[in-house]
């Protein structure tokens, strides 16, 4: 009987040894799925042997060491497949066997770093550093420690800076941002559904939030208007990535579940802002909710962001570039034709900053489309997005557009009337209509194309400069009304480059630049950016 048990033990050990060798080989060949399967088989056999040999302490210790290493290696393979939730479970099981296991702590730290749980990752790397193996390891622990410290500080303060990258001419990769949530909360919105609101005053250029994508899909489309098939393929790939992310991680699935699918928006719950912080592991109010494919597709139709939108063009990106992604918290930001925020994309991160000063209690809003356009064109764009904009600007212009004067100015521009003459008529009309300063900004933004032409140096030379307001005052009123815009900034920069401005104009341009690019670009880097000809 004893010989039979011994034979079975030997056979089991041989089988486990073969499996371990196979799994290790697969891991070294970067065949992650196959490695997970092999390690899973090994772990199952190992656990079975543990249950059968409780009276042999020495053999049990050997099995536990093998089990710990196998769990750690499976965690590594799962993390490469971005199955972070299961990878973390493997790490925790391994650490129950050996609480200071070097390889497992290192793996767990890297997984937590990927999940933006910076302080938890930092604790793992600090513990690893105490291990004698750390001195002989090929892994740069100090690099991980310093990275975690920087990201943890950024996640608390929003102190993110792209200046060095800008000054170096955008060579290499930009600094990786940390996820960050500023002074904002989610509340019911008068615009539609729920929205993101400032909890304190926010200066132009200040970071509002930095959030990592659930998934993205990117490519170069030489002719985006005609290559619909390529866009459809990208969209299919993107939706599959989102579905896969939700299937692998219950937290991701639950966060996606907080978003609107475009129906019954007024009935949806208002989630706490803390639920979106990476350190928060559980989502209250959405326990075990499963997202079916149809609902995911509806959510993506309503909440996906296109990276080539006018509000996301950043730092001279290839005009043929096309990208789509899902950033959950940013999806709560509604559209307004008087927006106060802009977005930049750095890698998989979406950076939202104030494009003009925002007051406490004010809703954070984006421009989903070009708001330097007349009311009719904006209404057309609203229809393509499936909503009607009832912001203050749209309501004001709807009332004013009943006047024949406005229609005549528009018709004159369509017939090729001199832009300076159109701006002159607009300014004279606003004086007769006793339009207030903020409302002047609305109308000047709507007639931006005419303003842009009228204030070009060539037009000014023909004499309109004395009959219409100074360009600076027009720019200030447009920015006050609809936030900073790269085209307005370009006009200011061209004036500076032609020597038509001094220190005051330079400061105005730098302030406008902060509204366009955010305070993530400091003063000297901003000067470099404005002089690069990228605008």
Q: Does residue 292 register a pLDDT over 70? A: yes
Helix (H, G, I), strand (E, B) or coil at 320: coil
Strand order across the 207-212 sheet: 180-181, 207-212, 349-354, 341-346
- Fold of the CATH domain 5-157: 1.25.40
User: What is the mean pLDDT of the segment spanning 402-429?
Assistant: 85
Contact, 296 vs 318, CB < 8 A? Answer: no
pLDDT digits (tens, 9 = 90+) for 472-491: 889 999 999 999 998 898 88
Is 318 or 186 the better-scoring residue by pLDDT?
Answer: 186
Q: Which of 334, 249, 256 is nearest to 291 (CA)?
A: 256
Q: Rounded to an integer, what distance in angstroms lies between the CA atom of residue 123 and that of residue 128?
A: 9
Residues 409/415/418/421 CA torsion (nearest 10 deg): -20
When pLDDT is cut at 50, 70 and 90, the band that residue 212 belongs to is very high
Is 164 or 121 the better-scoring residue by pLDDT?
Answer: 121
Contact, 278 vs 318, CB < 8 A? Answer: no
pLDDT for position 241: 94
Helix (H, G, I), strand (E, B) or coil at 334: strand
Residues 200/370/533/507 CA torsion (nearest 10 deg): -40
Q: Rounded to an integer, what distance in angstroms lies between the CA atom of residue 254 and that of residue 385?
A: 25
pLDDT digits (tens, 9 = 90+) for 91-100: 999 999 999 9
pLDDT digits (tens, 9 = 90+) for 80-89: 999 999 999 9
In the chain, which segments carry CATH 1.25.40.10?
5-157
Q: What percent of the chain has pLDDT over 90?
A: 48
Q: How many CB atoms lie within 10 A of CB 503?
A: 7
Contact, 213 vs 350, CB < 8 A? Answer: yes
User: What is the mean pLDDT of the segment spanning 212-238?
Assistant: 80
Q: Rounded to an integer, what distance in angstroms lies between the CA atom of residue 340 and that of residue 206?
A: 11
pLDDT for position 9: 65
Looking from the CA of 224 toward its CB, the CA atoms found within 13 Å total 14
Helix (H, G, I), strand (E, B) or coil at 98: coil
Q: Rounded to an integer, what distance in angstroms lies between the CA atom of residue 381 and that of residue 368?
A: 9
Q: Does residue 265 register a pLDDT over 70? A: yes
Looking from the CA of 193 toward its CB, the CA atoms found within 13 Å total 22
pLDDT digits (tens, 9 = 90+) for 371-382: 999 999 999 999
Which tokens hold the place of 308? 């080539």
pLDDT for position 289: 52
Cα 208 to Cα 69, 161, 203, 275, 333: the distances in Å are: 43, 14, 10, 17, 11
Q: Rounded to an integer, what distance in angstroms lies between the CA atom of residue 161 and that of residue 157?
A: 12
Q: Which of 209, 204, 211, 210 is nearest to 185 (CA)?
A: 209
Q: Does residue 391 register a pLDDT over 90? A: yes
When pLDDT is cut at 50, 70 and 90, the band that residue 2 belongs to is low
pLDDT for position 284: 41
When pLDDT is cut at 50, 70 and 90, the band that residue 416 belongs to is confident
pLDDT for position 343: 92
Looking from the CA of 10 toward its CB, the CA atoms found within 13 Å total 6
Q: Does residue 288 register a pLDDT over 80? A: no
pLDDT digits (tens, 9 = 90+) for 135-181: 766 568 888 999 999 999 999 999 998 888 888 877 777 888 999 99
Q: Model's pTM, two decimal places?
A: 0.87
- Average pLDDT, whole number, for the chain? 85
User: What is the mean pLDDT of the segment spanning 41-70?
Assistant: 86
pLDDT for position 286: 42
| Cα 168–Cα 180–Cα 389 angle in degrees, nearest 5 | 100
Which DSSP string do the residues of 355-422 spell out, in sequence order? SS-B-TTPEEEE-SS--SS-HHHHHHHHHHHT-----HHHHHHHHHTTSHHHHHHHHHHHTT--HHHH
| Cα 310–Cα 326–Cα 200 angle in degrees, nearest 5 | 75
When pLDDT is cut at 50, 70 and 90, the band that residue 312 belongs to is very low
In the chain, which segments carry CATH 2.170.270.10?
163-366
Which tokens hold the place of 325? 């992604």
Q: Rounded to an integer, what distance in angstroms lies between the CA atom of residue 480 and that of residue 338?
A: 9
Rounded to 10 deg, the angle between the 2-28 and 57-80 helix axes is 30
CATH code that applies to domain 163-366 = 2.170.270.10
Which DSSP string do the residues of 425-466 spell out, in sequence order? HHHHHHHHTT--HHHHHHHHHHTHHHHHHHTSHHHHTTTGGG
Q: Rounded to an integer, what distance in angstroms lies between the CA atom of residue 237 and that of residue 18?
A: 37
Q: Does residue 19 register a pLDDT over 50? A: yes
Q: What percent of the chain has pLDDT over 70?
A: 88
Q: Rounded to an integer, what distance in angstroms lies between the CA atom of residue 156 and that of residue 83?
A: 27
Q: Rounded to an integer, what distance in angstroms lies between the CA atom of residue 281 and that of residue 89?
A: 13
Q: Does residue 285 register a pLDDT over 60? A: no
Q: Rounded to an integer, what distance in angstroms lies between the CA atom of residue 18 and that of residue 14?
A: 6
Contact, 279 vs 120, CB < 8 A? Answer: yes
pLDDT digits (tens, 9 = 90+) for 324-373: 999 999 999 999 999 999 998 888 899 999 999 999 999 999 999 999 99
pLDDT digits (tens, 9 = 90+) for 20-49: 899 999 999 999 999 999 999 999 988 888
Which DSSP string do the residues of 19-64 spell out, in sequence order? HHHHHHHHHHTT-HHHHHHHHHHHHHHHHHHHHH-TT-HHHHHHHH
């Amino acid at each position: 009987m004893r010989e039979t048990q011994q034979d079975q033990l030997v056979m089991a050990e041989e089988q486990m040894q073969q499996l371990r060798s196979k799994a290790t080989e697969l891991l070294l060949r970067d065949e992650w799925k196959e490695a997970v399967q092999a390690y899973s088989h090994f772990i199952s056999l190992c656990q079975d042997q543990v249950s059968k040999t409780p009276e042999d302490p020495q053999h049990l210790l050997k099995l536990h060491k093998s089990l710990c290493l196998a769990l750690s290696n499976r965690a590594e393979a799962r993390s490469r497949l971005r199955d972070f939730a299961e990878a973390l479970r493997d790490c925790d099981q391994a650490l129950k066997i050996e609480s200071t296991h070097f390889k497992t702590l290192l793996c767990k730290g890297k997984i937590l770093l990927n999940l933006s749980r910076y302080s938890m990752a930092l604790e793992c790397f600090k513990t690893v550093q105490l291990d004698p193996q750390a001195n002989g390891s090929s892994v740069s622990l100090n690099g991980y420690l310093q990275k975690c410290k920087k990201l943890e500080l950024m996640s608390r303060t929003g102190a993110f800076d792209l200046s060095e990258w800008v000054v170096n001419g955008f060579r290499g990769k930009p600094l990786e941002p940390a996820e960050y949530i500023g002074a904002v909360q989610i509340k019911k919105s008068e615009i539609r559904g729920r929205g993101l609101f400032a909890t304190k005053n926010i200066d132009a250029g200040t970071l509002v939030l930095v959030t990592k994508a659930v998934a993205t899909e990117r490519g170069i489309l030489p002719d985006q208007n005609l290559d619909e098939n390529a866009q459809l393929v990208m969209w299919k790939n993107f939706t599959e990535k989102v579905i896969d992310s939700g299937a692998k991680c219950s937290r991701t699935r639950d966060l996606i579940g907080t978003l609107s699918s475009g129906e019954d928006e007024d009935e949806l719950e208002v989630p706490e802002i803390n639920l979106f912080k990476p350190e928060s592991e559980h989502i209250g109010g959405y326990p075990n909710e499963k997202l079916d494919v149809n609902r995911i597709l509806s959510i993506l139709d309503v909440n996906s962001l296109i990276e080539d939108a006018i509000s996301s063009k950043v730092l001279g990106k290839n005009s043929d570039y096309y990208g789509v992604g899902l950033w959950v918290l940013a999806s709560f930001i509604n559209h307004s034709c008087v927006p106060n925020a802009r977005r930049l994309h750095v890698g998989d991160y979406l950076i939202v900053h104030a494009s003009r000063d925002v007051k406490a209690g004010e809703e954070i809003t984006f421009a989903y489309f070009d708001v330097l356009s007349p009311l009719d064109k904006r209404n057309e764009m609203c229809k393509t997005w499936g909503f009607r904009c009832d912001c203050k600007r749209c309501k004001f212009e709807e009332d004013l557009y009943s006047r024949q004067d406005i229609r005549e100015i528009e018709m004159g521009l369509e017939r090729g009337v001199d832009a300076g003459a159109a701006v002159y008529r607009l300014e004279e009309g606003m004086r007769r209509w006793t339009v207030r300063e903020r409302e002047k900004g609305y109308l000047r933004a709507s007639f931006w194309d005419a303003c842009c032409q009228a204030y070009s140096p060539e037009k000014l030379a023909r004499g309109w400069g004395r009959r219409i307001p100074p360009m600076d005052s027009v720019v200030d009123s447009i920015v006050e009304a609809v936030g900073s815009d790269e085209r307005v900034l370009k006009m200011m920069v061209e004036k500076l480059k032609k020597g038509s401005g001094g220190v005051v104009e330079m400061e105005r341009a730098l302030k406008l630049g902060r509204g366009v690019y955010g305070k993530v670009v400091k003063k000297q880097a901003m000067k470099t950016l404005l002089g690069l000809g990228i605008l």
